[in-house]
Amino acid sequence: MDLLQLRYFQAVARHQHVGRAADQLRVAQPALSRVIARLEADLGVPLFNRRGRRVVLNRFGAAFLVRVTRALDEINQANQELHDATGGARGGVAIAAETLRILTGLAAEYLEEHPEASLRLNQCSTPVMAEQLRASEIDLCLASQPLEGPSLSSIELLREDVLLAVPPAHPLARHKEVAIEVLAGQPFVTPRPGYWQRTLIERMFTHAGLTLTIACEGDELAAIRGLISAGVGVGLLPAVARRLAAHPPVAWLRVKAPECQRTLSVVWRHDTYFSAAARDFRDFTIDHFRRRFADAAIR
């Protein structure tokens, strides 16, 4: 048994699909299958149940994954800790966010001040970010909804209202605010489940006893405003979107619901080694948002 086998096993276990794991690892699928077969032979037990192209961890594989994840995490931490202790060059930092737009100005400012640094950015939904943190695949993330867990720490970067955007010719466009009950039956343009706008609108509709009508859902968050402007439906956007751009044109309304807000936080694990580069980027991020949003609540 060697580290390569363990890393390959971890990838297959997470994807539950040999082909997708092979794509991530950039290895041929037959070669990956052979590595997993050898590992199972070495251990003397099967680790997966095969279901067509998918593979599902059995009870042996699930127990083994816990130990493998812990072992690989310790090795990764040891490598980074030694790197920092010996005064090596500034290390890389892996960051995740629901939209890369929020990282654009931050990354540009950071790299201008730290040209020797390297950043690895990843866009994904909140559940995926939480899993990546637990697996130590990222150092920190910027999340617009709470990430909970005994090993996670967070610092609030900003809190702002979330507004309803409607097409300019929409009947609601002449109003300044709207009750959540009025939105029953309105077609919504929304991200897929897991992104903060979707979680927020579903929570508000559930509290009001309403059924959400979805006209369009997807992963291209930057396209939401354009689709609303085109008349596809209505949708929730953060107040910062109104301040930063005038186009494509939409009408903005406040939603009369106290929970119609988003809180952006930087989140990291406190039970694992946090590299000097990651600490530096976290602190830079807090300062960046404090300067950019002077009225933001920083805890």
For residues 28 and 57, membership in a common domain is answered with yes
Q: Which of 24, 51, 83 is the last residue of a domain?
A: 83
- CA–CA separation, 170 and 234 (whole Å): 9
pLDDT in tens, 27-71: 998 898 899 999 999 999 999 988 776 888 999 989 999 888 888
**Mean local confidence (pLDDT), 190-195:** 92
Considering only residues 137 and 298, tell me which one the structure prediction assigns the higher pLDDT. Answer: 137
Q: Which of 83, 109, 129 is the last residue of a domain?
A: 83
For residues 63 and 115, membership in a common domain is answered with no
For residues 251 and 270, membership in a common domain is answered with no
- The label of the residue with tokens 């976290």 reads 282
Q: What is the CATH number of the domain that holds 37?
A: 1.10.10.10
In this structure, of 71-85, 120-134, 145-159, 172-186, the range with the lowest mean pLDDT score is: 71-85
For residues 111 and 132, membership in a common domain is answered with yes
Q: Which of 35, 58, 83 is the last residue of a domain?
A: 83
Do strands 92-97 and 54-57 pair parallel, antiparallel, or not at all (unpaired)? Answer: unpaired
Do the domain assignments include residue 297? no
Considering only residues 39 and 79, tell me which one the structure prediction assigns the higher pLDDT. Answer: 39
Q: Can you give the pTM of this predicted structure?
A: 0.68
Tokens standing for residue 282: 């976290």
- CA–CA separation, 253 and 99 (whole Å): 23
What is the domain count for the chain?
Answer: 3
Query: What percentage of the chain reaches a pLDDT higher than 70?
Result: 93
For residues 149 and 272, membership in a common domain is answered with yes
The pLDDT of residue 293 is: 66
The pLDDT of residue 87 is: 57
For residues 52 and 182, membership in a common domain is answered with no
Do the domain assignments include residue 67? yes
Give CA separation, 295 vs 71, 112, 141, 256, 291, in Å: 43, 25, 22, 22, 9
276, containing H or E segment: helix 276-292
